[in-house]
Structure 1
Amino acid sequence: MTTTTTTTTTTTVLLPRFRAVIVTVQLCGLMFFSSFCNGIVVVALPAMQSGLGLDEGLLVWPSSSYYLTAGSCLLLAGSIADAAGAKRVQLVGSLLAAAFTLGCGLARTGGELIAFRALQGVTNAIISPSSISIISSSLEEGRPRNMGFACLGFSQPLGFGVGLVLAGVLTDTIGWRPAFYLAAAASLALFLLSIWALPPDPRRPEADQPVWRRLALHIDWVGLLFASTGLAMLSYVLASMSSDINNIHQAPSIVLLVISGFSIPAFAAWMHYQSKNNRTALIPNSLWRSRVFTSSCILILLTNAITNCMELYSSLFFQQVQGISALGASIRVLPSLLAGVLTSILTGIFVNRMPVLWTVLISSALSATAPLLMAFIRTDQVYWENAFFGQILSPISCDMLFTVGLLIISDVYPKHMQALGGAVFNTCAQLGAAVGLSVAQVVASSVTSNVASSSADKSSPDALMKGYRAAFWLMFGCMVAVCFVSALGLRKVGVIGVKRD
């Protein structure tokens, strides 16, 4: 039986169990194939580099461009989903996902691949907040909603893992392009399913207004301009530094950094003005005074950065240093994704029974040992000694925090702004990945270049390993910071995800 819940602002319809399962599968399918493409890029990157003529300095751009655009567009997409309707936005995003994924498979140059990956990031930004809004609005509070968020969480490492393995097989046989074609076809099928499966948007008092009027009146466009511009410019400068650290001295980079720095106080001042006049504010300044909210955003930023860097640099270590094939590297990274899936499922089941502080702190301490193991690894070391345990421990903190963080954020934001709340959370995650990949690349490239200056070849395994080792040490330092933030910021959090009367 369908249950209807009415508040003073929004009327929501809770789905019966079978329909809720179908909707969750459809939403998770889109997240699955978005991450599936990320897995393709990670394992097939050396083949893409040689086949498309991708410069060494642009090696992380097929990944970082995705996170750059995703992080910059999430707040805009979340605001539009709240104003225009999550279902409408979800349909547009799923159709564009199929088109841009096909474009990645058809790319003929490194520039084209980077451009289509950036557009894939835009579609991820469209899909993610609307998916969170649909689950938050349509699934019953308590375990059903907990499992819905957990499924969104584990669909990403699962998709990444399948993408790794399948792309590894295809890269070593017929090439990496068919993997993108498969993802495009599946995304198109999910778009067709979503036309029927997704529930109508919750009824709101302003629903009788035309869509254009809702977009004009119920979105903080000035706040979006400050936030999105600042995020995009900062991410772009960091990504450009990954190709050449000396780019920081160029005039365009300096100008962009200044504008990005100015956008932070400007955004805060605008949020104060909006809140003072009882108008819509993207992220009210009062939220940052909440230790739990601020800590959750910092934690997902850092852990997502470290997890993505671990996946990329582990794959590069296996292929570029140890000389293992793409398929062999994907199989070696696979335990990380399986551990992530298991972590998300268990978190969804037991989150309403777990003490949040100790769960986050222990999982963060376990994940901190992963980059430490990779930092000490020898180039000829057997996989089962260090790398295997590093891969298993790497995703535990991030995948557990994804479910916990979403529950915290969805509790902070009102019902009619759930997509925006999800966008804020995912912006932190995507920004973390973009910044993490760029900073790690800068560190690894700088160390490798310094080593190569005293030797012959900076592409030699020994020179590359020096850079990779420095990147792993950077990841370890960030995970130590995660442990401190967890202890300080979540110490007063009780049990979450419990159904309220």
Structure 2
Amino acid sequence: MTERTLRAEPRPETAGSPPPPHRLVLPIILTCQLMLILDATVMNVALPRIQSELGFTDTGLSWVMTAYSLVFGGLLLLGGRAGDLFGRRRTFVVGAAVFTAASLLGGLAGSAELLIAARVAQGVGAALAGPSTLALITSTFTEAKARVRALALFSAMSSSGFAIGLLLGGLLTEWISWRAALYINVPFGLAIVLLTSRYVADPPRRRARLDLPGAVTGTFGVGSLVFAFTHAASHGWGDTITLGGLAAGLALLAAFLTIETRVSEPLIPLRLFAERDRAAAYVNFFLGPMAMMSMFFFLTQFLQDIAGFAALETGFAFLPMAACMFLLSRLIPKLLPWFGPKPLALTGTALMTGGVVWLTTLTTDSGYFSHLLGPMLLMGVGAGLAFSPLSVIIMATVPTADAGAAGGALQTLQQVGATLGLAILITVFGAVTRTPSGSPAETTVGGMTAAFTVAAAVTAVSFLVALTFRRRA
């Protein structure tokens, strides 16, 4: 065979392009991402039963949610860099294995302390696996159309996973036990670990160094801020511990930014923010979850404590919103090339703002169909339009060498935004409810509407950020 024949009729494996990925690769990665996101909210509906069984205090109960989100968000940047250093597939598998084992231990927990420890371990596993999900998508799907589709589906899982977690948590809590919300991770986690090693290709690793000083200052900085806001909800802003936590958090985050500008291998390369659309997408990935998590947290309690819904009914109440978020996310690969990110983000954030403003009108007599379904639908459609394009904007053009760091930064901002936003809004809620303004139910709803007012301001800022996107088709 001549050299001319080889050039004219290249065989697929020698043509210079990698073979197409196995059809199971995307389901494996997306299932892992959905599992990680679900656990940020799947325990919400079960909190009353967890408190009665394990003896949590009212203040300590919030740490069932916060312990996972805080560790997950705080260590994501380190997890992204670990993937670059040790291999993305290996880090993905190790993270999924740690998450699965921690889920089993959490289901078996016989005390409040053991459950919190298991949730912390879940956060560690999620922080290892999370950044590698995006990095593996970027390195596996090299063709532009396939990559945009994969990233859009990833966004669908990330956006709708919070609401699906509430639905799943309600189903499992009502039908089996709150422990089932943790046990269900075990078979899926084992399948992910086994199938990844067989079907997911390991992209080439590059030389990198772990930025431990950056990881320590960033993680403890965010943790201190969350603690300060949570403590302020019950003790006020004049409390010495509150002020100390706030000062420590700000100082540690300032140290983190200083470290990132000086080390050779930063956890967050500042060049990721040099491109305008990518920088705006990162900001909105921080702001969006701040408003979304407040809605999930407070509406879950409104439905159960004020409207008298059971756990199963509460889960189903969020189904229309989850369906809207998922269906809109599926349309993003078709809408984004036609309209570009700006019209989608503006429409989505405007709808979200309208939905949260609507929630500020809640009273103790508000019904589901008259006052809750409408805002939920607006939030679902708005989130599907506003945030599904963001993963595409961030990851579609990022250099392969920065894929791990870019994915880690994206999910860090999402998780930290959700955790810090919830802490801030719980502080607003606590400030209002410390001064009774009627019956206990009226006082509680008054605190919720005050929190929704602040959340509406956050979505309005997100709208302003969306104005900075370039208008391109």
C-alpha distance in 2 between matches for 1:4 and 1:365? 50
C-alpha distance in 2 between matches for 1:164 and 1:445? 23
1:9 aligns with: none
Deviation per residue, 1:273-298 (Å, 9 max, x gap): 34xxxx33333445545443332222
C-alpha distance in 2 between matches for 1:35 and 1:42? 13
Task: Confirm or deny that 1:224 pairs with 2:225.
Answer: no
C-alpha distance in 1 between matches for 2:33 and 2:300? 22
Q: Give 1:416 deviation, angstroms.
A: 1.5
Comparing 383-392 and 172-181, the one that deviates more:
172-181
Residue 372 to residue 264, structure 1, CA distance change in 2 (3 Å): same
Aligned AA (1:140): T
For the residue of structure 2 that corresponds to 1:327, the secondary structure is helix
1:112 aligns with: 114
Contact 2:211 2:265 in 1 (8 A): yes
Comparing 148-157 and 398-407, the one that deviates more:
398-407
Q: How does 1:453-468 map to 2 (within 5 A)?
A: 460-468=440-448
Q: Give 1:124 deviation, angstroms.
A: 1.8
Aligned AA (2:449): R
Deviation per residue, 1:346-382 (Å, 9 max, x gap): 1133322222111101110011111222211332233
1:470 aligns with: 450
Residue 259 to residue 364, structure 1, CA distance change in 2 (3 Å): same
C-alpha distance in 2 between matches for 1:286 and 1:33? 31
Deviation per residue, 1:46-103 (Å, 9 max, x gap): 2222222222223432222221111110110000101111000011011111111112
Q: Give 1:29 deviation, angstroms.
A: 1.0
Q: Give 1:145 deviation, angstroms.
A: 0.8
1:211 aligns with: none
Contact 1:61 1:239 in 2 (8 A): no
Task: Confirm or deny that 1:234 pairs with 2:225.
Answer: yes
Contact 1:66 1:117 in 2 (8 A): yes
Residue 52 to residue 5, structure 1, CA distance change in 2 (3 Å): farther
Aligned AA (1:218): R
Aligned AA (1:230): G
Contact 2:104 2:186 in 1 (8 A): yes
Q: How does 1:334-345 map to 2 (within 5 A)?
A: 334-345=319-330
Q: How does 1:443-454 map to 2 (within 5 A)?
A: 443-451=428-436
Find 1:195's aligned residue among 197, 201, 205.
197
Aligned AA (1:233): S
Contact 1:101 1:120 in 2 (8 A): yes
Contact 1:448 1:464 in 2 (8 A): yes
Deviation per residue, 1:219-269 (Å, 9 max, x gap): 334433433332333233334444x24377234x54443343233443443
Structure 2 gap ranges (5+) = 1-10
Comparing 393-402 and 462-471, the one that deviates more:
393-402
Task: Confirm or deny that 1:143 pairs with 2:145.
Answer: yes
Aligned AA (1:494): R
Structure 1 gap ranges (5+) = 7-12, 207-213, 496-501
Task: Confirm or deny that 1:362 pairs with 2:341.
Answer: no
Deviation per residue, 1:286-321 (Å, 9 max, x gap): 554544333222211111111121112111111011
For the residue of structure 2 that corresponds to 1:199, the secondary structure is coil
Deviation per residue, 1:425-471 (Å, 9 max, x gap): 111111100011111111112212211xx66x7xx322211111111
Aligned AA (1:466): G
For the residue of structure 2 that corresponds to 1:323, the secondary structure is coil
Q: Between the two proteins, what is the percent identity of the paired residues?
A: 25
C-alpha distance in 2 between matches for 1:74 and 1:374? 32
Deviation per residue, 1:383-405 (Å, 9 max, x gap): 22221111112134444444422
C-alpha distance in 2 between matches for 1:336 and 1:390? 9
Residue 463 to residue 335, structure 1, CA distance change in 2 (3 Å): same
Residue 193 to residue 181, structure 1, CA distance change in 2 (3 Å): same
1:270 aligns with: 259
C-alpha distance in 2 between matches for 1:97 and 1:61? 18
For the residue of structure 2 that corresponds to 1:386, the secondary structure is helix
Aligned length: 463
Residue 36 to residue 356, structure 1, CA distance change in 2 (3 Å): closer
Contact 2:106 2:118 in 1 (8 A): yes
C-alpha distance in 2 between matches for 1:124 and 1:360? 28
1:250 aligns with: 240
Comparing 367-376 and 165-174, the one that deviates more:
165-174
Aligned AA (2:342): L
Comparing 321-330 and 263-272, the one that deviates more:
263-272
C-alpha distance in 1 between matches for 2:173 and 2:213? 45
Task: Confirm or deny that 1:326 pairs with 2:311.
Answer: yes
Deviation per residue, 1:18-48 (Å, 9 max, x gap): x1x3111001111222233334312112222
2:57 aligns with: 55
Contact 1:146 1:351 in 2 (8 A): no
C-alpha distance in 2 between matches for 1:51 and 1:271? 44
2:250 aligns with: 261
Q: How does 1:204-223 map to 2 (within 5 A)?
A: 214=207, 218-223=209-214
Contact 1:24 1:151 in 2 (8 A): no
Residue 399 to residue 73, structure 1, CA distance change in 2 (3 Å): farther
Contact 2:348 2:384 in 1 (8 A): no
For the residue of structure 2 that corresponds to 1:195, the secondary structure is helix
1:433 aligns with: 418
1:406 aligns with: 391
Residue 157 to residue 281, structure 1, CA distance change in 2 (3 Å): closer
C-alpha distance in 2 between matches for 1:236 and 1:151? 34
Q: How does 1:18-33 map to 2 (within 5 A)?
A: 19=22, 21-33=23-35
Query: Scaled by the length of structure 1, what TM-score is found?
Result: 0.85
C-alpha distance in 1 between matches for 2:115 and 2:384? 28
Aligned AA (2:57): D
Task: Confirm or deny that 1:16 pairs with 2:20.
Answer: yes
Residue 159 to residue 303, structure 1, CA distance change in 2 (3 Å): closer
C-alpha distance in 1 between matches for 2:446 and 2:75? 35
Contact 1:315 1:333 in 2 (8 A): no
C-alpha distance in 1 between matches for 2:315 and 2:173? 11
Residue 27 to residue 285, structure 1, CA distance change in 2 (3 Å): closer
Residue 152 to residue 62, structure 1, CA distance change in 2 (3 Å): same
Task: Confirm or deny that 1:40 pairs with 2:20.
Answer: no
Comparing 115-124 and 320-329, the one that deviates more:
115-124
For the residue of structure 2 that corresponds to 1:385, the secondary structure is helix
